[in-house]
Every structure is written in structure tokens, then in C-alpha cells.
């Protein structure tokens, strides 16, 4: 499939770089509000191809809540890998302020793929601060999914993913987490109307 892929909360941008390299027929855009983490990968991305650069990737500094209007209706597929802080809260609590801009940048029938998870015991303070519930397949299916469906997002797939399965996934956080404690993450695939 050709088209535009958007990675929201791209962090150090490695996922964008590696998808752009593997699929030269797609255009890949990484979004994150923090420029510091992006410096190294974006410098590599924008080099000449002979020096490791890729001509089909771009990084945009923005938070999810205020995605640029220029991106309206361009995405064939959106990835959100290991969201944290405000991005995580908006996703899990199905907040309009997060989901409306995501829907706005999507084409009709676009896929939105989310890999996420947190640990109720080890990340208690952050979860309390964000007011997040205990996560489980049942929470995603029975609480989160109906809210997303109400917002016009069809739930295509929900499954749990074990930490060690993340080793080959091309994002930096996937790699970090795959070597930590073995804990459960979730994969959720949605499709826009």
C-alpha cells in the first residue's frame, strides 16, 4: 500500500526512519512536541541517501491536540507506539481533544494502530496523576471501545502482546521495554469511517 503514514508521539523518531527506509513508496511523518529527542534521528533522516538519509520522511513538532491543519485528511495509517503522559491519557480515556485531531488527519477508512500499556504497581504515581484505570483486555473491549465506536472509530482488533514479543518492533521504546520485566501490552487497531 502506498500513501502517508503518521507516527504520533514519535519520541526519537526511529520508528519513522525505519518504516521510511523499508517502504520507499510511502511518506512517513513523525509527530512529537519535544525536539530534543528528535535531533539525532532527524539529522540522519535528512542526510543524502548515500549517507543513510531517506527522502520520504518528515518530522513535525506538535502535540496531538493541535496537529497542523495542513495535515487534514492525509493519513492512510496512524501509529501510536507506547504513548505516555497527556497522549496516553487522551487515548485511554477516549478524550475528544485527542481523538478529534487524529480523526481529522485521517483519510476515510484509515487504520489507527496503537501499542500501549502500563503497570498498575510500578507506575502507580503517574497513573494516579493521570487518573487512569487498571488496563486489561476487558477494559479496552467494554469501556474504551464503545466510547471510540461512538466517536466513529471502528474497533478492528484488540489483543494482548507480551513484552518479549516487542524485541523486533522498530521503535526505541519497544526495544527498551522488551528487555525489562515481562509485562503485558495491548495492541488496538481502529479504522476511521
- Interface residues with ligand SAM (CB under 6 A) are 8-11, 15, 32-34, 37, 63-65, 81-87, 171-174
Write down the least CB distance from residue 45 to ligand SAM, Å: 15
CA atoms within 13 A on the CB side of 26: 23
Q: In this chain, which residue has its C-beta nearest to ligand SAM? A: 11
Nearer to ligand SAM, 84 or 139 (CB): 84
Beta strand 184-192 with 106-116 is antiparallel
Retrieve residue 87's grid coordinates.
497522549
For residue 98, the minimal CB distance to ligand SAM (Å) is 7
Instruction: Using the minimum distance from each CB to ligand SAM, give the nearer residue, 34 or 141.
Output: 34
Strand order in the sheet with 153-162: 57-61, 26-32, 3-8, 75-81, 106-116, 184-192, 153-162
How far apart (Å, rounded) are the C-alpha atoms in residues 6 and 79?
6
Taking Cα atoms as reference points, which of 46, 147, 42, 26 lies closest to residue 92?
147
Q: Kindly state the smallest distance separating residue 54's Cβ from ligand SAM, in Å.
A: 18
**Shortest distance (Å) from residue 48 CB to ligand SAM:** 26
CB closer to ligand SAM out of 83 and 106 = 83
Cβ-Cβ contacts under 8 Å for 4 (sequence gap 6 or more): 26, 27, 28, 29, 74, 75, 76, 77
Q: How far is CA 107 from the centre of its chain?
A: 17
**Least distance in Å: CB of 185 to ligand SAM?**
11
Amino acid at each position: 500500500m502506498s500513501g502517508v503514514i503518521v507516527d504520533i508521539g514519535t519520541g526519537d523518531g526511529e520508528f519513522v526512519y525505519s518504516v521510511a527506509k523499508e517502504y520507499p513508496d510511502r511518506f512517513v511523518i513523525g509527530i512529537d512536541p519535544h525536539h530534543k529527542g528528535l535531533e539525532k534521528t532527524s539529522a540522519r533522516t535528512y542526510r543524502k541517501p548515500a549517507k543513510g538519509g531517506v527522502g520520504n520522511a518528515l518530522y513535525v513538532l506538535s502535540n496531538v491536540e493541535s496537529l497542523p491543519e495542513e495535515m487534514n485528511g492525509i493519513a492512510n495509517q496512524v501509529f501510536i507506539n507506547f504513548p505516555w503522559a497527556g497522549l496516553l491519557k487522551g487515548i485511554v480515556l477516549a478524550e475528544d481533544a485527542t481523538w478529534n485531531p487524529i480523526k481529522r488527519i485521517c483519510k476515510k477508512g484509515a487504520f489507527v494502530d496503537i501499542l500501549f500499556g502500563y503497570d498498575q504497581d510500578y507506575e502507580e504515581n503517574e497513573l494516579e496523576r493521570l487518573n487512569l484505570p487498571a488496563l486489561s483486555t476487558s477494559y479496552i473491549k467494554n469501556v474504551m471501545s464503545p466510547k471510540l465506536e461512538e466517536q466513529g472509530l471502528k474497533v478492528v482488533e484488540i489483543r494482548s502482546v507480551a513484552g518479549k514479543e516487542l524485541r523486533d518492533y522498530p521503535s526505541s521504546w519497544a526495544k527498551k521495554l522488551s528487555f525489562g520485566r515481562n509485562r503485558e501490552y495491548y495492541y488496538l487497531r481502529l479504522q476511521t469511517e
